[in-house]
Amino acid sequence: MKKGKVFFHPIDGCGSLTISWSSMPKGDAVEASKGCGVGFFSERGDLLAVIFDEVKESQDSQVLEFDRDLVEVNVKHGKATYKASRKEHNASPTKRRSKRKIPISKK
C-alpha cells in the first residue's frame, strides 16, 4: 500500500483524523466492525481512506477493523503515525476429525 496522507486538525484537544491513500472519489462510508470510525473502499474492495472519529491530540492509540483491513493510529504530542495492514485469512480450511462410518446391518 502506498503512503497515505494524514489530516488531523484537533479543536480543544481532540478531533477526527483522516488517512487517505487515493484521490479518487470515495463513495459510501463503511462503518468499522471494531473501533470508532469509517472506511472507504473501491469497487474491488481496496481501502481508499479511513476516518477515525474522536482522536486525542496529546496521546491516543486506536484501531479500525474492517472485513479485510486493519488500520492503527498512534498520536503523541500532536504527531500522528499509522500502520495499515491486510488481515490474513487461513489459506486452508480448518481440519476436521473424520468420523468413522460403521455400517448398520439389517436383519
Contact between residue 20 and residue 58 where contact means Cβ atoms under 8 Å apart: no
With a cut of 70, say whether residue 7 has pLDDT above it.
yes
pLDDT at 24: 85
Reported confidence tier of residue 97, pLDDT bands at 50, 70, 90: very low
At which residue does the C-alpha cell 487461513 appear? 90
Query: pTM of this prediction?
Result: 0.79
**Residue (of 68, 41, 40, 43) closest to 52 by Cα position:** 40
25-83 per-position pLDDT tens digit: 888 999 999 999 999 999 889 999 999 999 999 999 999 999 999 999 999 988 999 99
Helices then strands, counting H and E runs in the chain, come out as 0, 8
